[in-house]
């Protein structure tokens, strides 16, 4: 509970702080009087303006630290968007679990693997002279 002290160290008024973090005076006053906490974007601005860490302003018991997830960069994966009929959502929710798939991503991944196997089989079959062009179902 050192927000006011940090602000005074920097020689700023509540109004100046409010403007610096993109809010108004009354809301900033609530932050300083510990009536509410700033949203993460404002908290980042607040710590930059005061040149301090969140822990310098608030006690650990007062602030919830959210673990940040690394976002997958565009080069690490292929995002796929499909349009399915409305009933597909409900069906997929129970059918995937019933069939042993963890989630829809895992199911799509397995479909991709099966398609790869099927493609390799077709490619191999087309390079060999044969009269039988049927492709067996490859379970995988």
DSSP H helices, 34-135, are 40-50, 54-57, 87-98, 104-127
- What's the pLDDT score for residue 13? 92
* Residues in contact with 140: Cβ distance below 8 Å, sequence separation at least 6, in sequence order: 110, 113, 114, 117
Q: Please tell me whether the overall predicted TM-score, pTM, comes out greater than 0.75 for this model.
A: no
* Residues in contact with 62: Cβ distance below 8 Å, sequence separation at least 6, in sequence order: 1, 34, 37
Helix (H, G, I), strand (E, B) or coil at 101: coil
- What's the pLDDT score for residue 37? 84
- What's the pLDDT score for residue 116? 94
Reference 48, options 2, 17, 13, 5; nearest CA is 17
- What's the pLDDT score for residue 94? 87
| 48 vs 34: CA distance, rounded Å | 19
- What's the pLDDT score for residue 117? 93
List phi, psi (to 5°) of 66. Answer: -85, 130
- What's the pLDDT score for residue 61? 72
- What's the pLDDT score for residue 140? 56
Residue ranges in the chain modelled with pLDDT below 50: none
- What's the pLDDT score for residue 118? 93
- What's the pLDDT score for residue 60? 73
| 99 vs 67: CA distance, rounded Å | 32
């Amino acid at each position: 509970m050192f927000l006011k002290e940090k602000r005074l160290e920097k020689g700023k008024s509540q109004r100046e702080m409010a403007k610096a973090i993109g809010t108004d005076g009354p809301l900033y006053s609530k932050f300083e009087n510990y009536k509410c906490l700033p949203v993460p974007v404002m908290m980042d601005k607040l710590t930059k303006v005061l040149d301090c860490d969140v822990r310098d302003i608030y006690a650990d018991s007062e602030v919830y630290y959210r673990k940040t997830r690394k976002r997958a960069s565009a080069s690490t994966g292929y995002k796929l968007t499909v349009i399915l009929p409305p009933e597909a959502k409900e069906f997929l929710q129970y059918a995937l679990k019933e069939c042993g798939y963890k989630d829809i991503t895992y199911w799509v991944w397995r479909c991709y693997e099966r398609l790869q196997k099927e493609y390799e089989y077709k490619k191999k079959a087309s390079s060999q002279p044969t009269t039988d062009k049927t492709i067996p179902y490859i379970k995988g």
